[in-house]
Amino acid sequence: MIINEKCQAWPPLFQEENSLKSIKKNKGEKKNNENRDIAEYQARYDEWLQYKRKGRKMTRNEACSRIHEALTAYFGDMPQTATPYGNGHINDTFLVIHDRRYILQRINHLVFPHPDKVMENILGVTEHIRKRTKQEGQDPARCTLTVLPTLRGAYFFRDSIGCYWRLYDFVEGTVTRESVTCKKDFYTCAKAFGDFQRRLADYPAERLHEAISHFHDTPRRYKDLCHAIEEDRMGRAESVRMEIEFAHAHAEFTQALEAAHKTGILPLRVTHNDTKLNNILFDDTTGLPVCVIDLDTVMPGYSVNDFGDSIRFGANTAAEDETDLSRVSLDLELFRAFAEGFLAGCGDSLTAGERELLPTGAIMMTLECGMRFLTDYLKGDIYFKIHRPAHNLDRCRNQFALVADMEEKLPLMQSIIRELRQ
Ligand code: ADP
Ligand code: GN1
Ligand code: MG
pLDDT digits over 112-138, tens only? 999 999 999 999 999 999 999 999 998
Q: What residues contact 46, with CB distance under 8 A and at least 6 apart? A: none
Q: Which residues pair with 148 in a beta bridge?
A: 167
Ligand 2 contact, 107 CB (< 6 A): no
The last residue of a domain, from among 148, 172, 196: 172
Structural domain including 332 reads 183-421
The last residue of a domain, from among 144, 172, 200: 172
pTM, two decimal places: 0.86
pLDDT reported for residue 16:
25
Ligand 2 contact, 297 CB (< 6 A): yes
Q: Which residues line ligand 1 (CB under 6 A)?
A: 85-91, 93, 103, 145, 168, 170-171, 174, 176, 278-279, 281, 293-294
pLDDT reported for residue 345:
87
Q: Is residue 7 part of a domain?
A: no
Ligand 2 contact, 218 CB (< 6 A): no
Query: Could you say which ligand is closest to the alpha carbon of residue 101?
Result: 1
- Tell me: do 384 and 278 sit in the same domain: yes
pLDDT tens, position by position, 30-47: 444 434 444 544 554 554
- Tell me: do 224 and 327 sit in the same domain: yes
Q: In 3D, which of 250, 400, 414 has the Cα closest to residue 328? A: 400
pLDDT reported for residue 58:
78
Task: Report the mean per-residue pLDDT for the chain.
Answer: 88
Contact present, 171 and 291 (Cβ < 8 Å): yes
- Tell me: do 39 and 165 sit in the same domain: yes
Q: In 3D, which of 216, 218, 311, 313 has the Cα closest to residue 256? A: 218
CATH number for the domain including 36?
3.30.200.20
- pLDDT category, 346, cuts 50, 70, 90? confident
Of 60, 87, 89, the one to substitute when testing ligand 2's pocket (max ligand atoms within 8 A of C-beta) is 89
Q: Which atom of ligand 2 is nearest to the CA of 296?
A: 11
DSSP 330: B
- pLDDT category, 11, cuts 50, 70, 90? very low
Q: Is residue 4 part of a domain?
A: no
- Tell me: do 99 and 192 sit in the same domain: no
Average pLDDT over every residue of 180-199: 92
- Tell me: do 325 and 215 sit in the same domain: yes
Percent over 70 (pLDDT), the chain: 86
- Tell me: do 203 and 344 sit in the same domain: yes
Terminal-residue alpha carbon distance, the chain: 54
pLDDT reported for residue 50:
55
CA of 90 to the centre of ligand 3 (A): 7
CATH number for the domain including 334?
3.90.1200.10
pLDDT tens, position by position, 52-93: 555 566 788 889 999 999 999 999 987 788 999 999 999 999
Q: Is residue 292 part of a domain?
A: yes
**Overall number of domains in the chain:** 2
pLDDT tens, position by position, 151-175: 999 999 999 999 999 999 999 999 9
- Tell me: do 162 and 196 sit in the same domain: no
pLDDT tens, position by position, 246-260: 999 999 999 999 999
- Tell me: do 117 and 80 sit in the same domain: yes
The last residue of a domain, from among 142, 172, 202: 172
